[in-house]
């Protein structure tokens, strides 16, 4: 994959500020911006103004969970025109605890290791550098690394 | 309801394939003339025109294409619903006839397409930059979810393509008329796992035309009328418990159509579904209520959707083999259903169907239409 891991020492900006922000206190981890309906409580991603569940106008911005599960995925073997990825790469729909499905790449694992139901966490990936030399970051999800002692039982 | 039922009285196609020397007006004119001949009508009989189209053809395509056929002053409306444009155009024509406003209307669907994979999101969007929006990827993820929920196998999806290519051998309008073995389909280049190249529809040039008339007018014509007895279209419905596996509420629309036409899935003798990628046939026969959720794969595998099967599906080769010039596809699906119901489908004829169903899906929308003789 052409995209790279973030170098935490470098200044960074999000590729799309409507989709996520970077949590500097956490070393620049992306935080997805969800939209919660104050009336019926449903969450949405990406941005909506009007709740499709109850019609309420004026949803509230909330941080979405950093961890989720792979709801479905595919291993793409052909790169569409204009995309910066290299084949093969994994496209997935990630189910977050807020009952939101997010389209994302899956990184940090071999494509054939991805499974439906796999636990994943958000991670930054570098898309390019901007004119000021800052890293422009997108978000992806990667498998949650289980502590070694958990695998014994 | 002074016009009575709505009938399809004429259908026509320009062959699907690659026709670099023909303009979209040429494709549309040839399909339209075939449909008018089939109906036994001339263009001056047509009181309203609707044109289905999607890409790259500029402003006022319908006015240009219909203008090729004559300058009779009729209203012409362009309809765009991605891959379901011309079936939606047929629904608008049918609404107009049923309202009593006109007695004869014509729909033309046209498309000329570039080679290669479509990029629906626009190349500059966030998702497109990361390669997230590929259409085979969308179907592949639905396929993977189906495999996870029901144990559907890659071979089941591949069998759809084997069957469709077998049917297209007998369709002179089809883009690909060569049989493929299961191994050839499975071993063709992987595009988006589990979808291989031969499970993707091609891009195509082509045109379709459908002439509709009031029941009163249809009875004056020599062809056996095929009645469009119910139709319904829709867009996705918010359902927090069931995130979408498809482009729209096919199951809900099918129930509406069955009820309006007083039919059940068991009455359907021939069916056309949107198989832009092979898993589409398996999802859709489940959504249309022909088999229970999860039973689509084994049903296809056991030959249930073959011409000789319990539910013949995509008898003309479907999008996979007939080709998919997007704006023309809905009209081509209807053309095949009409030919089947009239008994004019030649070597691919289904044994005596009385009810035909069309399900045509575009990005973000879907249409279901029932036809009866």
What pLDDT digit, counting tens, does each position of B245-302 carry?
556 799 999 999 999 999 999 999 999 999 999 999 999 999 999 999 999 999 999 9
- Residue B22, judged by CB atoms within 10 A of its CB (0-12, 13-18, 19+), counts as middle
- B236: closest chain A residue by CA: A52
Would A149 be classed as within a structural domain? no
DSSP secondary structure string for all residues of B39-70: HT--GGG--EEEEE--SS--TTHHHHHHHHH-
Answer for the pair B337, B272: CB distance below 8 angstroms, yes or no: yes
Structure tokens that stand for B369 in this block: 């239409």
Cα separation, B93 vs A58, whole angstroms: 39
Mean pLDDT of B70-93: 96
pLDDT score for B248: 72
| B347–A contact, CB cutoff 8 A | no
Q: How many helices (H) and strands (E) does chain A have?
A: 0, 11
Residue B208 has which token pair? 């379709």
Burial B152-161 (b: 16+ CB within 10 A, else e): bebebbbbbb
A150 has pLDDT over 90: no
CA distance B314 to B291: 16
pLDDT digits (tens, 9 = 90+) for A77-130: 999 888 889 999 999 999 999 999 999 999 999 999 999 999 999 999 999 999
At residue A152, does pLDDT exceed 50? no
- Give the closest of B189, B192, B240 to A53, CB-based: B240
Those of residues 241-270 in B touching chain A at CB distance below 8 A are 243
Structure-model confidence comparison of residues A4 and A26, the more confident one: A26
Under an 8 A CB cutoff, do A73 and B126 touch?
no
Among all residues of B, which ones are annotated catalytic? 83, 324
- DSSP, res B242: S
The percent of residues in chain B predicted with pLDDT above 70, rounded, is 95
Query: Residue B128 and residue A92: Cβ atoms within 8 Å?
Result: no
- Would you say A121 and A67 are in contact if contact means Cβ atoms under 8 Å apart? yes
Interface test with B, best of A20, A30, A46, A80 (most B CBs within 10 A): A80
CB contact under 8 A, B129 and A75: no
Mean per-residue pLDDT for B338-367?
96
- Asked whether residue A151 is domain-assigned, the answer is no
Looking from the CA of B314 toward its CB, the CA atoms found within 13 Å total 38
Show contacts of B290-299: CB within 8 Å, 24+ apart.
B290/B265, B293/B149, B293/B150, B294/B146, B294/B149, B294/B150, B294/B151, B294/B152, B295/B150, B296/B146, B296/B152, B296/B156, B297/B146, B297/B150, B297/B151, B297/B152, B297/B153, B297/B156, B297/B157, B298/B156
* Distance from the B130 Cα atom to the nearest Cα atom in chain A, whole angstroms: 5
Q: In the predicted model, is pLDDT for residue B222 greater than 70?
A: yes
Residue A148: its pLDDT value, please? 60
Residue A68: exposed, middle, or buried by beta-carbon count in 10 A (0-12, 13-18, 19+)? buried
Length of chain B (residues): 373
By the CB < 8 Å criterion, does B119 face chain A? yes
Which residue of B128, B136, B240 is in closest CB contact with A42?
B240
Return the number of CB contacts < 8 Å for A and B. 102
Closest chain A CA to residue B120: A80
Burial class (CB in 10 A: 0-12, 13-18, 19+), B97: buried
Number of domains in chain A: 1
Q: Is residue A150 part of a domain?
A: no
CA–CA min distance B196, chain A (Å): 10
Query: Which domains, ranges and CATH numbers included, belong to chain B?
Result: 6-115+204-228 (3.40.47.10), 132-201+231-372 (3.40.47.10)
Does residue B309 belong to the interface with chain A, where contact is any CB pair within 8 Å? no
**Nearest-CA neighbor of B265 among B129, B116, B370?**
B370
ipTM: 0.90
Would you say residue A12 lies in a domain? Answer: yes
Residue A115: Cβ within 10 Å count: 13
The answer to whether A70 and A94 have CB atoms below 8 angstroms apart is yes
Chain B residue nearest residue A83, CA to CA: B129
Q: What are phi and psi of B39, to 5 degrees?
A: -80, -20
What's the pLDDT score for residue A8?
63
Distance CA B143, CA B200 (A): 13
Confidence band for B123, pLDDT divided at 50, 70 and 90: very low
Domain of A58 in residue numbering reads as: 4-144
Distance from CA of B139 to the nearest CA of A (A): 9
The whole-number pLDDT of residue A27 equals 80
Q: How many C-beta atoms lie closer than 10 Å to residue B259's C-beta?
A: 12
What CA–CA distance (Å, rounded) separates B66 from A33? Answer: 48
Residue A152 maps to a domain: no
**In-domain check, residue A153:** no
């Amino acid at each position: 994959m052409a995209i790279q891991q973030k170098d935490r020492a470098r200044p960074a900006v999000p590729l799309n500020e409507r989709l996520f922000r970077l949590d500097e206190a956490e070393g620049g981890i992306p935080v997805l911006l969800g939209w919660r309906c104050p009336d019926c409580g449903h969450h949405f991603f990406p941005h909506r103004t009007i709740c499709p569940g109850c019609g309420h106008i004026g949803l509230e911005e909330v941080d979405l969970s950093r961890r989720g599960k792979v709801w479905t995925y595919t291993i793409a073997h052909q790169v569409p025109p204009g995309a910066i990825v290299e084949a093969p790469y994994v496209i997935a729909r990630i189910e977050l605890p807020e009952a939101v499905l997010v389209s994302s790449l899956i990184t940090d694992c071999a494509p054939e290791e991805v499974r439906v139901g796999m636990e994943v966490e958000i991670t930054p990936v570098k898309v390019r550098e901007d004119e000021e030399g800052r890293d422009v970051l997108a978000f992806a999800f990667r498998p949650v690394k289980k502590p070694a002692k958990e695998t014994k039982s | 309801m002074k016009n009575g039922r709505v009938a399809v009285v004429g259908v026509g196609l320009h062959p699907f394939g690659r026709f670099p020397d023909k303009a979209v007006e040429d494709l549309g004119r040839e399909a339209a003339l075939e449909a008018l001949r089939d109906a036994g009508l001339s263009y001056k009989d047509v009181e309203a025109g609707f044109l289905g189209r999607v890409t790259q053809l500029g402003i006022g395509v319908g006015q240009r294409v219909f203008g090729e056929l004559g300058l009779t002053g009729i209203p012409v409306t362009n309809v765009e619903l991605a891959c379901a444009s011309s079936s939606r155009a047929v629904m608008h024509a049918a609404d107009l006839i049923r309202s009593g406003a006109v007695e004869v209307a014509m729909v033309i669907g046209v498309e000329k397409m570039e080679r290669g994979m479509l990029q629906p999101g626009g190349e500059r969007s966030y998702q497109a930059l990361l390669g997230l929006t590929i259409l085979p990827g969308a179907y592949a993820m639905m396929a993977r979810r189906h495999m996870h929920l029901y144990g559907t196998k890659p071979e089941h999806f591949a069998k759809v393509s084997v069957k469709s290519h077998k049917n297209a051998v007998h369709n002179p309008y089809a883009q690909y008329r060569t049989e493929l073995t299961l191994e050839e389909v499975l071993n063709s280049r992987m595009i988006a796992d589990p979808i291989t190249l031969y499970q993707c529809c091609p891009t195509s040039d082509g045109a379709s035309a459908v002439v509709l008339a009031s029941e009163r007018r249809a009875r004056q014509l020599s062809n056996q009328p095929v009645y469009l007895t119910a139709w319904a279209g829709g867009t996705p419905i918010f359902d927090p418990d069931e995130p979408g596996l498809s482009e729209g509420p096919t199951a809900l629309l099918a129930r509406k159509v069955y009820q309006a036409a007083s039919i059940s899935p068991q009455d359907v003798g021939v069916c056309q579904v949107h198989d832009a990628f092979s898993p589409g046939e398996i999802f859709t026969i489940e959504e249309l209520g022909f088999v229970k959720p999860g039973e689509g794969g084994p049903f296809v595998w056991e030959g249930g959707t073959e011409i000789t099967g319990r539910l013949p599906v995509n008898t003309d080769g479907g999008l996979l083999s007939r080709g998919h010039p997007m704006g023309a596809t809905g009209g081509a699906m209807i053309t095949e259903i009409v030919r089947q119901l009239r008994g004019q489908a030649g070597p691919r004829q289904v044994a005596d169907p009385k009810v035909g169903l069309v399900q045509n899906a575009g990005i973000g929308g879907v249409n279901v239409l029932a036809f009866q003789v």
